[in-house]
Structure 1
């Protein structure tokens, strides 16, 4: 197969409004910012710092989520056909659960200091995640003419959303719901991992704009590790170690591809880098706490620094692109 067979992120015709071209992938930025807030809060707790930095990050996350949600809702009202095109797109379809994942992550970040507000976000987040998981998977196995080149690591996003549920769900008192979503998430992660590795190995390379999604390989085992710790009472057992070390190896695989990612022009798909790095940061810091490993402790601190640099760069590049009118353009 040639590059002409690879999926292109087609938008609407030239001359359409920026609102019409607002992509659902923008919600990936909320996931990344929420990951920063959670990582900062854990670091502040471990080192005895105040929580000003994590609160500021969480406030920014909520503000961005509200802004993007309102804009996308307006797009749905004014340009329902454009939303329909994204829903039927083999790549963008997988990003719709980023909306529910954002709710779940914000609920997780709010839980330590505002449990009532966290519950108010977590419950609709769980309901929406369940609905979107069913809808997306039904779309995958329906009559749509998907082919192997349509698969990308972005397809992990619905699975990741399910394993996020227990991270806040267990402490909130919903263990059975948490187990259900965790089970579904792990099973579909393993199925999708097989499909994605087959696509990456035996078919054409990913198109340039999709290269950053390779980092998403890190997220399912890293988030799964955090969820498993909640479900099994915080015990660092064999399965927890398997999940964490799998995340490390996927991180090594993704790191090898970074050079190629940095060569392509900036696009909103670069935000796919942020949440997986945050998930690995959180997992490493938790692993260090439970194992007492000095190596992992230092690795967690280093990853936090990397995360802050990555997200700061993404924020800067996004603001720069907005100022230059280089995003929300027809693709």
Structure 2
């Protein structure tokens, strides 16, 4: 069995982004609510399909500590608990008490993982070249997603607390990550899709701001959108870089970030009552859905061919290795 890595949770994370996009479209066009509901259900199913074998392998090999402290994959360990928060928002549409309870669990786990990883980064001997945009996920992504869901659940005091949590972490980590990208060698090939995550903080922050204040445009939202525009232009410049990367689990890094940007665009279309916003909304969700369908098709092909996830040999436990050495001797 291939070694499973936490970046596999990028698959349900991307599907959650598509579900959120369809949910936001409902504020502009008469979209059947069943579409978003089905997408959230598929997201929950895929989350479980990834979680069960991943958690089983990690526990069986007793490598939870190694997963959390891994300088490459460690930040992705926050994604499965962030998904709990996202799914709780969908669950609240059916039962608010259940949604709030699930959100509380996801929030606590997200903050605990974020706190542990932040402490780990402080005490570990991390080199600047080891940083990548995935380091935004545990605290920046976790805080901003928590603010969004809390606002939609009516937790008006908690939402700004988590917005501040996410924004301050964005300012701190963003300076480190951009310094790394500006001054250090180019990211390794398979990590280059994480450059798409640079678009996520302004997009997720903008969506959280709209969730907190309704579809009302204001100066703060416009400021966030301004930085988002810069990061969107950066993504266009990086297209030739992305085209060099072979498809793999890391390719799903594009999905959530870009879909959050589409969702933010839909909120602005509604807030500004842009002429032609109805056809523009349909165009946006169709293109977004097509992009995810393409990722799903490549993933399915990889599963059939046995190349997704990549075949990384699982290391044998140290005790087993010692027994074999003694036997050979």
What TM-score does the superposition give when structure 2 sets the normalisation length? Answer: 0.88
The aligned counterpart of 1:185 is 166
Task: After TM superposition, give the deviation of residue 300 of structure 1 in Å.
Answer: 4.7
User: 2:61 corresponds to which residue?
Assistant: 79
* C-alpha separation in 2, matches of 1:121 and 1:245: 34
Query: Is it true that 1:33 corresponds to 2:36 in the alignment?
Result: no
Q: Is the 8 A contact 1:216 1:272 kept in 2?
A: yes
Look up the match of 2:41: 59
Contact 2:85 2:145 in 1 (8 A): yes
* 1:239 lines up with 2:239 in the alignment: no
Q: Secondary structure at the match of 1:154?
A: helix
Checking the alignment, whether the CA contact within 8 Å between 2:29 and 2:278 is kept in structure 1 is: no
CA distance in 1, matches of 2:121, 2:311: 27
User: Which residue does 2:320 correspond to in 1?
Assistant: none
Contact 1:284 1:299 survives alignment (8 Å): no
Structure 1: gaps spanning 5 or more residues: 1-16
Q: Tell me which residue corresponds to 1:176.
A: 157
Match of 1:287 in 2: 268
CA 207–223 in structure 1, closer or farther in 2 if over 3 Å, else same:
same
Number of residue-to-residue matches in the alignment: 311
Asked if residue 47 in structure 1 is aligned to residue 29 in structure 2, the reply is: yes
1:275 to 246, 253, 256: 256
- Distance change (3 Å), C-alpha of 1:297 and 1:283: farther
Distance 2:46 2:249 in 1: 14
State the Cα RMSD in Å.
1.9
Mapped to 1, the partners of 2:81 and 2:204 lie a distance apart of 15
Q: Could you say if the C-alpha distance between residues 136 and 295 of structure 1 is closer, same or farther in structure 2, counting changes exceeding 3 Å? A: farther
Task: Name the residue aligned to 1:330.
Answer: 312
SS at structure 2 position matched to 1:96? helix
CA deviation profile, 1:281-328 (whole Å, cap 9, x unmatched):
111101111112237766554432332122111111112111111125
TM-score scaled by length of structure 1: 0.88
> CA offset at residue 146 of structure 1?
0.5
> Can you list the C-alpha shifts for 1:33-81, whole angstroms capped at 9, x where unaligned?
0111111122244211312322221111010011111112211221113
Structure 1 residue 176 displacement after superposition: 2.3
Q: What's the CA shift for 1:274?
A: 0.3
Distance 1:251 1:278, change over 3 A: same
Distance 1:139 1:296, change over 3 A: farther
Hey, what's the Cα distance between the residues in 2 that align with 1:283 and 1:302? Answer: 14
